[in-house]
Amino acid sequence: MVDAPRTLEGITMMHDEPLSHYTFTKTGGPADLLAFPKNVAEVRALVDAARDRGLPLTVIGNASNLIVRD
């Protein structure tokens, strides 16, 4: 599991959240950490936090053209 805070500047984080809840194909295992930024400033904060902690970051958008392994 990713060692990260549950909140970051007002952004709620979810640990081990199944991506199947969000993908169009309803497939996908748990994400170590999932966040839903609401604006550019929150995206910047997430990118900076991931970089500072050495964590990988993947932006998935609406997940409509995404197939995720279970």
Beta bridge partners of 14: 34
pLDDT of residue 57: 92
User: What's the rounded Cα separation, in Å, for the pair 10 and 18?
Assistant: 22
Of 13, 24, 15, the closest CA to residue 68 belongs to 24
pLDDT in tens, the chain (70 residues): 455 555 577 888 899 999 999 888 888 999 999 999 999 999 999 999 899 989 999 988 887 777 777 8
pLDDT of residue 1: 42
- pTM as predicted: 0.75
Residue 69 neighbours by CB under 8 Å, 6+ apart: 27, 28, 29
Quickly name the fold that domain 7-53 has. 3.30.43
